[in-house]
Structure 1
Amino acid sequence: MILSCQNISKSFGTETILKDVSFHLEEHDKAALIGVNGAGKSTLLRIITGALSPDSGEVTLTHGKTLGYLAQYQEMEGDETIYNEVKKARQYVLDMEQELRSMEEQMKNVTGSDYDRVMEKYTQLGHRFEMENGYAVESEITGVLKGLGFAEADFDRRLSTLSGGQKTRVVLGKLLLTKPDVLLLDEPTNHLDLTSIEWLETYLLNYAGTVLIVSHDRYFLNRIVNRVVEIENGSSMTFVGNYSAYSEKKAIVRKSQYNAWLKQQNEIKHQEAVITKLKQFNREKSIKRAESREKMLDKIDLIEKPAEVSADMRIELHPRTESGKDVLTVKGLTKAFPNLPLFTDQSFEIKRGERVAIIGNNGTGKSTILKILTGLLEPDAGTVTFGSKVHIGYYDQEQQLLDPSKTIFEQISDDYPTLSNTEIRNVLAAFLFTNDDVFKLIKSLSGGERGRVSLARLMLSEANFLILDEPTNHLDIISKEILEDALNEYTGTVLYVSHDRYFINQTATRIIDLNNRTLVNYIGNYDYYLEKKDELTAIYAATPAADSAETNQAGDTAGKLDWKAQKEEQARIRKIENEIKKIEKEIGELEDRNREIDEEFLKPETGTDLPKCQKLSKEQTSNNERLEELYEKWEEVSSQL
């Protein structure tokens, strides 16, 4: 055991955040700390680091072990460059190198015992330098910075010019290079694009120390963690396995807890009814028995009613009218900003009922495409055509469509003036705004609260084409799952930008990857995208630095294909792959049957049963003939790939 939390409790005023939270981590554990927004996850991390004192309980870190912490928000001042700031994490190794160079010069001028003394010290320091990977320290720093999404051109940028998200990435880079024994990360993927998140996953999977992660990124947690610590209603519960394993076990635990609570409630009601009846008899003996039962009830340890998913946010998305089959046609779309070309001559279509995710690295122009479609930006070239009866509902990740000077109630009332006060309150209650909460000013809301207001507006729009920009930002895991269910049941059409891979995997029927200023189409979810990414990127979005002239030529030719041709080609490939799987399945079944027949022939009783031998022989001959046909067909179909 490397880290232990025992009976941690913490309150702020009259509000209890944590009560008797206990868990422990072993060396090399990769654990997730999860819970709804406001559950106390960040509070617990701050208590573990010592930045906040618990009201009661104890945090124990194994003697001699180090702790590193990435907070969710970073304040970083100064005029240092990105590279020099991150380099500070390994400065002691660079200092060792300078000392080694100094000793080398010193050894040129000493002899005898002095030389032996310096040489011994040099050998010891050299060993330490090698153990710290000193000869590769510069490339290690560069690798971490690039992995976190900084280009070499960014290395000389001053900290004072960085955004909050960029500063967080700088701090994360320093922390990773420090290599503490226990790494505490609070929402480490918030400011990373897909490529950087995948890099961080690989880094943490190979990390030698213990890691505790607060994150709403379920795909990220699924790949990394082997233990989940859940904070719910202030209490903790530990589950072994990744997020999917936790989700399955939690459903069982929740049902068991609810059944136990329900059973106790029924027993209490039964006892109360008996007590009432006994008192009605109004006899000394019955009254004493009633009092005895009352004392027994007073001693019962009441089971707290478990939180139910149904008690959280409720989203129901229903289009008012059905759109035409062709929902959106984009042709020749081009957009660039000063010194930043985004994409040129790109085309795609969206049909009714599709749920399409646009993905790509930060800064490639994903949100720009959505803003062009909704009329918030003008393209440099190209046309955007919506089909018949298309009614758009837009979710803006920056919440610019909300008026900061209005209250939540006023925002909904002004947007939908036909709704009564009761109807508005009912809608807002479905998004967890009750009582006086509805009179909060938009400008005073947190990111998550603004997101819920925008989702409420989206639900009321009754649109048949939803355009969503990072809809899961600021949502906790339960709210994300509720939104996923709503989108999967929605009968309209959806186009969204997201970096939440689990959300994409659960909801997308098609993915458009904005890669190397080119839109590459994948007919499937995120798992299918990962499977085909390298292959289709090489064909449709090859970089100028492709490995061979042949690859370049293929990229140039395929780059001229419009979206429709890409879609047809991918559909053809998938059809061939499905046919191959079907053939291979039949081959496997026939070969298995032939082995069973061979085993049957070896049995003594079969050898004396002539009719059975003839029947088995005939079946095996027929199988062999069919296998020959299938082998030939497999070769023919495989060659089409």
Structure 2
Amino acid sequence: MNYVSVENISKAYGERVLFENISFGINKDQKIAFIAKNGSGKTSLLNILTGRDEPDSGQIVSRNGIRMAFLSQDPELLDNLTIEETIFASDNPVLKIIQQYEKALENSEDTDAYQKAYDQMERFDAWDFETRYKQILFRLKLEDLQQKVASLSGGQKKRLALATILINTPDLLILDEPTNHLDLEMIEWLENYFTKENITLFMVTHDRFFLERVCNEIVELDNGVLYTYKGNYSYYLEKKEARQVQEQASVEKAKNLFVKELDWMRRQPKARTTKSKSRIDDFYVIKEKANQRRKDHQVQLEINMERLGSKIVELHGVSKSFKDRVILNKFTYNFLKGERVGIIGKNGTGKTTFLNILTKGVQPDLGKIVVGDTVKIGYYTQNGIEVKPDQKVIDVIKEFGEYIPLTKGKIISAAQLLERFLFDRKKQYDYVAKLSGGELKRLYLCTVLIQNPNFLILDEPTNDLDILTLNVLEDFLLDFPGCLLVVSHDRYFMDKIVDHLFVFRGEGVVEDFPGNYTDFRVYEDSVVPEIVDKKETVKKTWKKDANTGLSYHEQKEYGKLEKEIAQLEGEKTTIENAFAAGAITGETIQKESERLQIILEQLDSKTERWFELSMKMED
């Protein structure tokens, strides 16, 4: 079933052409990722799809009655509403029923209103919906439902917009960088949610793990041409490489033919026959093909870097707290030459604060930090570059000098450096204010690296960068001989460049894990979590029974969950025993593996809800 058809649309801003005459369709149950370089118009395309902008030519045809939702990078929310009011402000009829039921609970004396609200809950099976939306809020760390939108951070606002969309289950969900502002735990939950839900997606994302696990089709805009790949990210990489090899072979063949035809053209007399005229026309077609150049520039950096001495950065008994929130508790560590450390942890555990302490932007409460004399720190922050009025791209780099020193006594001009960072000569004289979000991040990254740091600190460097730029950055960092410290929720990026992790657990606990992110996940999944250690609950007040702390319907749900969990545990044990005994073979392996995965996901979800209710019984 076709939901949306994109028919020959074009978009330009003045002389800057984003795309021309592109067409594709979005069908039910497809999970499509749209990939293009920064500045190619990804966000513009999403705005056109959702009616926030108009194409210069062509049209968007949507199926009648389709419910579409859009998660933008800067969601528009009403500041005067609370989190709860924002959720209930939607047109979802089931949410209205739940809201009426909650009001009836608050006014328990009006038995008629309560009975009517209860009947509506039963009729529309709103109990399951209520449980589901509370779990979504819990997973996205939106626990204080009475908090005003005006007091939320940018990341919290995006999570609230995401929660509202997921709760309302649209037919088609359009997402612009959905994993930005989510911690790793939230991203993995969202992956599982999208994988198991029958929901149609069209998204822009640079998160390659997300692409791999969620998407079943990738649409790429490359040099103005649209390519479609019916598979996940691995399939896309394989088929794109094959396409590029074929294109290069075609170009080489055209070059050889061009040499022959050029010789013929030079030997022709001025008088042309009809047959000659046709061959001449073919010559110019061949010439265009032979001169075709791919624009996949590769950044090649040989920036000169001062050698590190024996003392690099030492932290001695460093402690830091903000009121009751402990960030570091007597943390001690000595960085060694060539260390490559990744930092992970939930939002709010102090990752960025730790970086600011290292760079002396924040003072510790106790302890000291010793930085070696030869250390030159380069710090890429989440704040990005400061855009100055009427400043051009080339001017930003020239602030650091007309020429940049390279290794082996070589130098490079500011213009050449920008070319290596994928800014062509024309783009260098664009005003900085005209750059896309990803281009601004790329320019900012350039300004950090050209200062020749030998201790590089990167705070979420992958946000808003396209996949080509990410590959370029990764290649540079793999060759970077200095120390590297990076905070990132991009698991693919972390796996590729770091050797060990600082895991921020919260409450001042920082663990040093000897491996990359995938190693860490494998280790964590092998450890059976003790349910008594889980402290997170959904902090919403419902009408409670005087003895148990649960409402009548929560008691029913609690009992039902216990039976369902026991049943799922039994099924899980049966399948695992069958695998262990070698009783599952051949065609049934895939089927039983998929069934086991579904059981594990259901167990996780239902156990979490059971725990929430258990905690309420103890309150």
TM-score (norm 2): 0.74
The secondary structure found in structure 2 opposite 1:359 is strand
The secondary structure found in structure 2 opposite 1:213 is strand
Q: Measured at CA, do residues 226 and 301 of structure 1 come closer, stay the same or move farther in structure 2, by a change above 3 Å? A: farther
Distance (whole Å) between structure 2 residues aligned to residue 498 and residue 243 of structure 1: 20
The aligned amino acid for 2:124 is: F
Does residue 329 of the first structure (1) align with residue 300 of the second (2)? Answer: no
Please name the residue that 1:242 is paired with: 232
The aligned amino acid for 2:138 is: K
* 1:347 Cα offset (Å): 2.2
Note the alpha carbon deviations across 1:11-37, whole angstroms, 9 max, x for none.
Answer: 334444333323334432222111111
The aligned amino acid for 1:72 is: Q
The secondary structure found in structure 2 opposite 1:471 is coil
Please name the residue that 2:135 is paired with: 143
* 1:295 Cα offset (Å): 3.4
Deviates more, 1:487-496 or 1:58-67: 58-67
The secondary structure found in structure 1 opposite 2:318 is strand
Q: Which has the higher contact order (CA 8 A, sep 6+)?
A: 2
The secondary structure found in structure 2 opposite 1:398 is coil
Distance (whole Å) between structure 1 residues aligned to residue 43 and residue 433 of structure 2: 23
Note the alpha carbon deviations across 1:279-326, whole angstroms, 9 max, x for none.
Answer: 3xx6x6x766643421333577955977746425x1415553432466
Q: Measured at CA, do residues 515 and 277 of structure 1 come closer, stay the same or move farther in structure 2, by a change above 3 Å? A: same
Q: Measured at CA, do residues 171 and 304 of structure 1 come closer, stay the same or move farther in structure 2, by a change above 3 Å? A: farther
Distance (whole Å) between structure 2 residues aligned to residue 301 and residue 408 of structure 1: 34
Q: Measured at CA, do residues 404 and 510 of structure 1 come closer, stay the same or move farther in structure 2, by a change above 3 Å? A: farther
The aligned amino acid for 2:47 is: R
Note the alpha carbon deviations across 1:21-79, whole angstroms, 9 max, x for none.
Answer: 23334432222111111223223333333343445545444454422222222222341
Please name the residue that 2:522 is paired with: 531
The aligned amino acid for 2:414 is: I
Maintained 8 Å contact 1:7/1:58: yes
The secondary structure found in structure 1 opposite 2:312 is strand
The secondary structure found in structure 2 opposite 1:353 is coil
Please name the residue that 1:168 is paired with: 158
Q: Measured at CA, do residues 54 and 523 of structure 1 come closer, stay the same or move farther in structure 2, by a change above 3 Å? A: same
Which residue, out of 494, 497, 509, partners 1:504?
A: 494
Maintained 8 Å contact 2:72/2:175: yes
5 Å matches for 1:515-526? 515-516=505-506, 517-526=508-517
Please name the residue that 2:353 is paired with: 368
5 Å matches for 1:444-455? 446-455=436-445
The secondary structure found in structure 2 opposite 1:461 is coil
Distance (whole Å) between structure 1 residues aligned to residue 3 and residue 250 of structure 2: 33
Maintained 8 Å contact 2:35/2:218: yes
The aligned amino acid for 2:127 is: Y
Note the alpha carbon deviations across 1:434-461, whole angstroms, 9 max, x for none.
Answer: 5475566667755434433333233333
Q: Measured at CA, do residues 543 and 417 of structure 1 come closer, stay the same or move farther in structure 2, by a change above 3 Å? A: farther
Maintained 8 Å contact 2:404/2:450: no
Which residue, out of 281, 289, 302, partners 1:295?
A: 281
The aligned amino acid for 1:189 is: T
The secondary structure found in structure 1 opposite 2:201 is strand
Maintained 8 Å contact 1:8/1:55: no
Please name the residue that 2:84 is paired with: 83
* 1:236 Cα offset (Å): 1.5
Distance (whole Å) between structure 1 residues aligned to residue 124 and residue 249 of structure 2: 60
Please name the residue that 2:9 is paired with: 9
Please name the residue that 1:316 is paired with: 301
Maintained 8 Å contact 1:9/1:17: no
Please name the residue that 1:47 is paired with: 48
Does residue 394 of the first structure (1) align with residue 384 of the second (2)? Answer: no
The aligned amino acid for 1:191 is: H
Maintained 8 Å contact 1:315/1:486: yes
* 1:519 Cα offset (Å): 1.0
Maintained 8 Å contact 1:34/1:228: yes
Distance (whole Å) between structure 2 residues aligned to residue 76 and residue 158 of structure 1: 11
Percent identity of equivalent pairs: 32
Q: Measured at CA, do residues 333 and 128 of structure 1 come closer, stay the same or move farther in structure 2, by a change above 3 Å? A: same
Maintained 8 Å contact 1:331/1:382: yes
* 1:274 Cα offset (Å): 0.5
Structure with more helix by fraction:
1
Please name the residue that 1:217 is paired with: 207
**RMSD, aligned α-carbons:** 3.7
* 1:476 Cα offset (Å): 1.1
Please name the residue that 1:493 is paired with: 483
Maintained 8 Å contact 2:209/2:492: yes
Does residue 456 of the first structure (1) align with residue 441 of the second (2)? Answer: no
Note the alpha carbon deviations across 1:226-263, whole angstroms, 9 max, x for none.
Answer: 11111223332111221122112111112212222332
The secondary structure found in structure 1 opposite 2:361 is coil
Q: Measured at CA, do residues 8 and 409 of structure 1 come closer, stay the same or move farther in structure 2, by a change above 3 Å? A: closer
* 1:128 Cα offset (Å): 4.7
Could you tell me which runs of 5 or more consecutive residues in structure 2 were left unpaired when the two chains were aligned. 406-410, 537-619
Maintained 8 Å contact 1:193/1:360: yes
5 Å matches for 1:91-102? 92-96=93-97, 98=100
Maintained 8 Å contact 2:36/2:220: yes
The aligned amino acid for 1:145 is: L
Distance (whole Å) between structure 1 residues aligned to residue 498 and residue 32 of structure 2: 28
Distance (whole Å) between structure 2 residues aligned to residue 291 and residue 444 of structure 1: 46
Q: Which has the larger radius of gyration?
A: 1
Distance (whole Å) between structure 2 residues aligned to residue 163 and residue 189 of structure 1: 16
* 1:191 Cα offset (Å): 1.9
* 1:464 Cα offset (Å): 2.5
Distance (whole Å) between structure 2 residues aligned to residue 269 and residue 167 of structure 1: 60
Distance (whole Å) between structure 2 residues aligned to residue 135 and residue 337 of structure 1: 40
* 1:94 Cα offset (Å): 4.4
Distance (whole Å) between structure 1 residues aligned to residue 82 and residue 23 of structure 2: 41
Maintained 8 Å contact 1:222/1:243: yes
Q: Measured at CA, do residues 47 and 512 of structure 1 come closer, stay the same or move farther in structure 2, by a change above 3 Å? A: same
Which residue, out of 263, 271, 280, partners 2:253?
A: 263
Maintained 8 Å contact 2:392/2:430: yes
The secondary structure found in structure 1 opposite 2:335 is strand
* 1:90 Cα offset (Å): 7.0
The secondary structure found in structure 2 opposite 1:223 is helix
Distance (whole Å) between structure 2 residues aligned to residue 307 and residue 477 of structure 1: 20
Distance (whole Å) between structure 2 residues aligned to residue 101 and residue 87 of structure 1: 13
Note the alpha carbon deviations across 1:529-588, whole angstroms, 9 max, x for none.
Answer: 11123568979xx96959xxxxxxxxxxxxxxxxxxxxxxxxxxxxxxxxxxxxxxxxxx
Please name the residue that 2:148 is paired with: 158
Q: Measured at CA, do residues 341 and 402 of structure 1 come closer, stay the same or move farther in structure 2, by a change above 3 Å? A: farther
Maintained 8 Å contact 1:392/1:463: yes
Distance (whole Å) between structure 1 residues aligned to residue 90 and residue 204 of structure 2: 23
* 1:386 Cα offset (Å): 3.6
Q: Measured at CA, do residues 169 and 301 of structure 1 come closer, stay the same or move farther in structure 2, by a change above 3 Å? A: farther
Deviates more, 1:185-194 or 1:402-411: 402-411
* 1:468 Cα offset (Å): 1.7
Note the alpha carbon deviations across 1:112-150, whole angstroms, 9 max, x for none.
Answer: xxxxxx99x998x666511xxx01343333222222232
Distance (whole Å) between structure 2 residues aligned to residue 360 and residue 263 of structure 1: 53
Distance (whole Å) between structure 1 residues aligned to residue 352 and residue 78 of structure 2: 30
Deviates more, 1:66-75 or 1:439-448: 439-448
Please name the residue that 2:20 is paired with: 19
The secondary structure found in structure 1 opposite 2:413 is helix
TM-score (norm 1): 0.72
